[in-house]
Every structure is written in structure tokens, then in C-alpha cells.
């Protein structure tokens, strides 16, 4: 039985703004690096740059939906993605 492919992504929260209802941060996985903005009142996620965005977007959205109330500015979090980058 082959082990499942996975990649660990590092998520850093840079800004948590209640007035704008958004979280801004950075995600790094393998050689990729993205910035994101999570509009938690609308459930919308913006990830840039578009290169490789499909690799991270769904997993990051699930992570944010599950953990958004636990996230703090300046902290780093780990996210396991079931794919090898």
C-alpha cells in the first residue's frame, strides 16, 4: 500500500480586521507562495498570484472556515494538503 501524497503548507496571518471583516495572510507550500484575503462575512477567498492557486485554494478555504475564530495575527499555522506539489 502506497502512502498518500501530501504537502505541508505554512499559513501566516498578517492582518485581522473586524471593521473590514477580513483576514489577510501568506501561504507557503513547496516552492509556491501566495497572499490571501479571507472575507469572512461573505465567505469569499481571494488568492494571488494565480500561478498554482488551484493547488491551495480549496484546502485553504476549508482551513479558514474551520479555524477562523482561532487565528491570531502574527501566528503561523500548518495545513496539510492531500497532494504532492
Burial of 42 (0-12, 13-18, 19+ CB in 10 A): exposed
Every domain of the chain and the residues it spans:
17-70
Could you give the C-alpha distances from 11 to 27, 28, 72, 80, 83, in angstroms and in order?
A: 5, 7, 11, 11, 17
Whole-prediction pTM: 0.88
Using an 8 Å Cβ cutoff, are 9 and 71 in contact? no
> What's the rounded mean pLDDT across residues 59-65?
95
Question: Which residues does 51 contact at the CB level (< 8 Å), separation at least 6?
Answer: 32
Residue 20: per-residue pLDDT: 93
> What's the rounded mean pLDDT across residues 62-67?
93
Amino acid at each position: 500500500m502506497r502512502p498518500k501524497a501530501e504537502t505541508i503548507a505554512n499559513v501566516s496571518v498578517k492582518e485581522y480586521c473586524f471593521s473590514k471583516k477580513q483576514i489577510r495572510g501568506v501561504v507557503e507550500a513547496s516552492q509556491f507562495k501566495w497572499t490571501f484575503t479571507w472575507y469572512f462575512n461573505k465567505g469569499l477567498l481571494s488568492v494571488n498570484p494565480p500561478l498554482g492557486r488551484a493547488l491551495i485554494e480549496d484546502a485553504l478555504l476549508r482551513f479558514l472556515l474551520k479555524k477562523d475564530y482561532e487565528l491570531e495575527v502574527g501566528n503561523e499555522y500548518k495545513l496539510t494538503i492531500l497532494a504532492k506539489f
